[in-house]
Amino acid sequence: MNDHDLALARRGLRRSATFDPATIHDIQRAAATGIYDIRGGGAKRPLPHFDDLLFLGASMSRYPLEGYRERCGTDVVLGGRNAAYPLHLAIPVTIAGMSFGALSGRAKEALGRGASEAGTSTTTGDGGMTPEERGQSKHLVYQYLPSRYGMNPDDLRSADAIEIVLGQGAKPGGGGMLLGQKISERVAGMRTLPQGIDQRSACRHPDWTGPDDLTIKIAELREITGWEKPIYVKVGASRPYYDVKLAVHAGADVVVVDGMQGGTAATQDVFIENVGIPTLAAIPQAVRALQELGVHRKADGVQLVVSGGIRNGADVAKALALGADAVAIGTAALVALGDNDPRLDDEYRAIGSAAGYYDDYQDGRDPAGISTQDEELAARFDPVEGGRRLANYLRVLTMEAQTIARACGKAHVTHLEPEDLVALTIEAAAMARVPLAGTDWVPGQGR
Amino acid sequence: MDALTVPTREVDLATTPLRTLNALLQGREVTGETPLGADEGVTVVNPRGAHAVAVGLDAPRQVRVAGHVGYYAAGMNQRADVVIEGNAGVGVAENMMSGSVVVRGNVSQSAGATAHGGLLVVEGDAAARCGISMKGVDIVVGGSIGHMSAFMAQAGRLVVRGDAGEALGDSIYEARIYVRGEVASLGADCVAKEMRPEHLEELAALLKAAGFEDDDPAAYTRYGSARTLYHFHVDNASAY
């Protein structure tokens, strides 16, 4: 109990676990405004996560690699199953799809700069491809979304990979949203929308409705792009075992599974917090689907990219150990660019937030100039400096993952395996399908 | 069968892989095949309902398909003029950018979905979701269209010489719809609008471009956005 709660308790006042202060505030806000809360970011509620896993490390029975001396590879190849030109990435950490519109053009440019410097890919979003993003991204994944805003065959052919988006972790089953204050003249032009309206884009693709149709759609995209480019299918984590199987059957080269901690630029809070499953629970289901289809970690296999709550190299290593081939970061990449910088705390407070808490990406008043279309605010952000910071962060993630992999005796980060992991909680053990630490008990596995 | 007005090469899909056809049409190198000349047209025979026929074209080329096609025929077309002498499956001319696609028969759902430009003519009927999320294309349908057509239609014109199914133009943005027959029901925020002289003029031009110049534009009703849902407000929640 903190000092404030202790003082209240001494006065005989007890906080309700059901109607806590945040809940009471939500009810009061709803009653005052008559509309649900919209915000950015991912699920904030406590969830079983990578923090609930530990690596065992080498000891008598395992042989570690020398840190800083013995090589521990980090490169990954994505999309070689059907594409003539798969992506060869230097590190297993990619940048997730975030739209121009949600982010400023300069922020998108910085993501491209940082990713390229680190040898990895970045991804467009629900708003088309900008020249500054294409120009600064060595490996650019072009998202194919239900809205098809800005979708055109020239950009499709200039992309290095295509990602068909069925959903995202923050809102599986929901469509895009960009509120009027961010629909600037340029954003409106790229999306063929009236300037300043509230954009609520479709949640379903307009010209296919199920996995059989998706098979035909993927074949069409391959025909249009000459069978050159890897085709990803991205799903929000809800039923990953079935979704991954269907995506592979439909012809995906890469499947992206985004857990509920994955961020969004603008979605209803009730949606973010109550729909989807945690990243930790999604990975083993996705891996099982790939294994049953015989395409997991095979030369001509289908790669799994996992996103949603990746923050440090330990998270990267744990995702890879559970079977992901790579991870994608969104929220963490924005923080690396300068989002929620404590030096801007006064300005965050002036708009009703605080450094470390800012998630009103829908609002367009971002003091860091990242999630805005306001030219004055956007001009505050230096894409070269932002790109450098992102590259630094990506290097740290990679080195941290290598540190753990070497300690587990692995010559490549993707050699990490579930056997290297234990769980701290019964919930995490059941979800990740690794033993509870100090036991050989995997809940639900009958042993 | 329509005759092309340029020198024509015949490609038989009964003996030629689809990938070869599309690569040729897109100007990609194909082993054993002579590249198409700049003005050379293509007649595709025996399409037999194949999907993704003549997709991703990006040249002012005449293409005639002698038969029925499956999904996504002429998808993402740029500059080419494609005539399909049969029926077409789901998503004909999806995301077309420019050029034209003419279907002599009927089409399945999502015809012209998200298309940004060009002209799509369907001489028969179109099923559900015709013109869904259209972004600038012109679509002229000789017959009737199914439900949820012009859903979230953003820009362009949709002309229907017959009837329209339920929920026409639901959540429409700035696209304009002209229907001569009955409309089963209008979707959220879609309303009938006055036919002013400029609308009669643009409709006459569209009908002429599609080969229906004998129609009287005054017999049509214009539909478009009431623009009441452009900004979400709780008072409109029941409209969704």
- Check residue B161 and give its pLDDT: 98
What is the percent of chain A where pLDDT is above 70?
100
Name every chain A residue with its beta carbon within 8 A of the beta carbon of B174.
Answer: 194
CB contact under 8 A, A223 and B55: yes
Tell me the C-alpha to C-alpha distance, in Å, between residue A360 and each of A37, A41, A110, A179, B177. 10, 8, 21, 11, 37
Is B44 a member of any domain? yes
Shortest CB distance from B78 goes to which of A147, A153, A193?
Answer: A153
- pTM to 2 decimal places: 0.96
CB contact under 8 A, A153 and B76: yes
- Check residue A122 and give its pLDDT: 98
- Check residue A198 and give its pLDDT: 87
Order the strands of the A303-307 sheet from edge to edge: A93-95, A326-329, A303-307, A254-258, A231-236, A161-165, A139-144, A121-123
Q: Residue A153 and residue B118: Cα distance in Å, rounded?
A: 14
A190: distance to nearest CA of chain B, Å? 11
B12: distance to nearest CA of chain A, Å? 17
Q: Are B148 and B132 in contact, with CB atoms under 8 Å apart?
A: yes
Calculate the average pLDDT of chain A: 95
Determine the average pLDDT of the residues in B87-98: 98
B106: distance to nearest CA of chain A, Å? 17
Q: Are A366 and A337 in contact, with CB atoms under 8 Å apart?
A: no
Shortest CB distance from A153 goes to which of B97, B129, B135?
Answer: B97
How many CB atoms within 10 Å of residue A82? 19
End-to-end CA separation in angstroms for chain B: 46
Question: What SS3 state is found at B236?
Answer: helix
- The DSSP secondary-structure symbol of B2 reads P
Determine the average pLDDT of the residues in B193-215: 98
Is B2 a member of any domain? no
Q: Taking CB atoms and an 8 Å cut-off, how many pairs form between chains A and B?
A: 106
Helix (H) or strand (E) holding A199: strand A199-200
Nearest CA in chain B to A35: B234
Is B3 a member of any domain? no
Q: What is the fold of A50-338+381-409?
A: TIM Barrel (3.20.20)
Shortest CB distance from A192 goes to which of B28, B109, B155?
Answer: B155
Name every chain B residue with its beta carbon within 8 A of the beta carbon of A191.
Answer: 154
CB contact under 8 A, B51 and A206: no
- Check residue B6 and give its pLDDT: 85
- Check residue B2 and give its pLDDT: 66
Determine the average pLDDT of the residues in A392-419: 98
- Check residue A69 and give its pLDDT: 85
- Check residue B239 and give its pLDDT: 65
Determine the average pLDDT of the residues in A134-153: 96
pLDDT at B237 over 80: no
**Disruptive mutation site among B30, B69, B76 for chain A (greatest number of A CBs within 10 Å):** B76
Name every chain B residue with its beta carbon within 8 A of the beta carbon of A216.
Answer: 51-52, 70-72, 90
- Check residue B105 and give its pLDDT: 98
Q: Are A298 and A325 in contact, with CB atoms under 8 Å apart?
A: no
Best CA proximity match to B46, nearest among B66, B16, B18, B71: B66
Nearest CA in chain A to B76: A153
Q: Residue A230 and residue B66: Cα distance in Å, rounded?
A: 32
Length reported for chain B = 240
Q: Residue A352 and residue A359: Cα distance in Å, rounded?
A: 11
pLDDT in tens, A43-77: 999 999 999 999 999 989 889 999 888 999 999 99
Give the pairing of strands B221-225 and B176-179: antiparallel
Instruction: For residue A199, name the pLDDT band (cuts at 50, 70, 90).
Output: confident
pLDDT at B146 over 90: yes
- Check residue A388 and give its pLDDT: 98
Instruction: For residue A180, name the pLDDT band (cuts at 50, 70, 90).
Output: confident
- Four-point Cα dihedral B151, B154, B155, B161, nearest 10: 10
**Touching check for B223 and chain A: CB below 8 Å?**
no
Give the pair of three-digit tokens for residue A310.
């990746």
Q: Are A95 and A143 in contact, with CB atoms under 8 Å apart?
A: no
Best CA proximity match to A73, nearest among A325, A391, A309: A325
Q: Residue B121 and residue B130: Cα distance in Å, rounded?
A: 12
Q: Maximum CA pair distance of chain A?
A: 73
pLDDT at B240 over 70: no
Tell me the C-alpha to C-alpha distance, in Å, between residue B216 and each of A82, A310, B161, B176, B198. 52, 62, 10, 18, 15
A227: distance to nearest CA of chain B, Å? 9
End-to-end CA separation in angstroms for chain A: 38
Q: Is A192 left (phi over 0), alpha (psi -120 to 50) or beta?
A: left
pLDDT at A447 over 60: no
CB contact under 8 A, A207 and B230: no
CB contact under 8 A, A192 and B116: yes
Q: Are A172 and A237 in contact, with CB atoms under 8 Å apart?
A: yes
Q: What are phi and psi of A21, to 5 degrees?
A: -55, -35
pLDDT in tens, A257-314: 999 999 999 999 999 999 999 999 999 999 999 999 999 999 899 999 999 999 999 9
B232: distance to nearest CA of chain A, Å? 7
Shortest CB distance from A192 goes to which of B110, B154, B231?
Answer: B154
CB contact under 8 A, A194 and B173: yes
* B 27-66 → A contacts, CB under 8 A: 28, 51-52, 55-56, 58
Determine the average pLDDT of the residues in B80-101: 98
Q: Are B50 and B69 in contact, with CB atoms under 8 Å apart?
A: yes
**Touching check for A21 and chain B: CB below 8 Å?**
no
Determine the average pLDDT of the residues in A14-24: 93
Q: Residue B110 and residue B73: Cα distance in Å, rounded?
A: 12
Is B89 a member of any domain? yes
Is B169 a member of any domain? yes
Name every chain B residue with its beta carbon within 8 A of the beta carbon of A182.
Answer: none
Question: What SS3 state is found at B159?
Answer: strand
Q: Look up the CATH number of the domain holding residue B143.
A: 2.160.20.60
Question: What SS3 state is found at A258?
Answer: strand
Give the pairing of strands B221-225 and B190-193: antiparallel
- Strand pairing partners for A39? A267
- Check residue A197 and give its pLDDT: 87
pLDDT at A148 over 80: yes
Helix (H) or strand (E) holding A407: helix A383-407
Helix (H) or strand (E) holding A383: helix A383-407
- Strand pairing partners for A421? A55
What is the percent of chain A where pLDDT is above 90?
88
Name every chain B residue with its beta carbon within 8 A of the beta carbon of A198.
Answer: 230-232
CB contact under 8 A, A217 and B72: yes
Into how many domains does chain B fold? 1
Name every chain A residue with its beta carbon within 8 A of the beta carbon of B97.
Answer: 152-153
pLDDT at B1 over 70: no
- Check residue B111 and give its pLDDT: 98
Name every chain B residue with its beta carbon within 8 A of the beta carbon of A210.
Answer: none
Q: Where are the alpha helices (DSSP H) in A34-104?
A: none
CB contact under 8 A, A220 and B71: yes
Name every chain B residue with its beta carbon within 8 A of the beta carbon of A200.
Answer: 232
How many CB atoms within 10 Å of residue A373? 23
B58: distance to nearest CA of chain A, Å? 9
Determine the average pLDDT of the residues in A396-414: 98
Q: Residue A169 and residue A150: Cα distance in Å, rounded?
A: 23
pLDDT at A175 over 70: yes
Determine the average pLDDT of the residues in B168-178: 97
Domain residue limits at B141: 8-239
Q: Mutual orientation of helices A240-250 and A211-224 as an angle, nearest 10°?
A: 40
**Touching check for A85 and chain B: CB below 8 Å?**
no
* A 221-260 → B contacts, CB under 8 A: 223-227
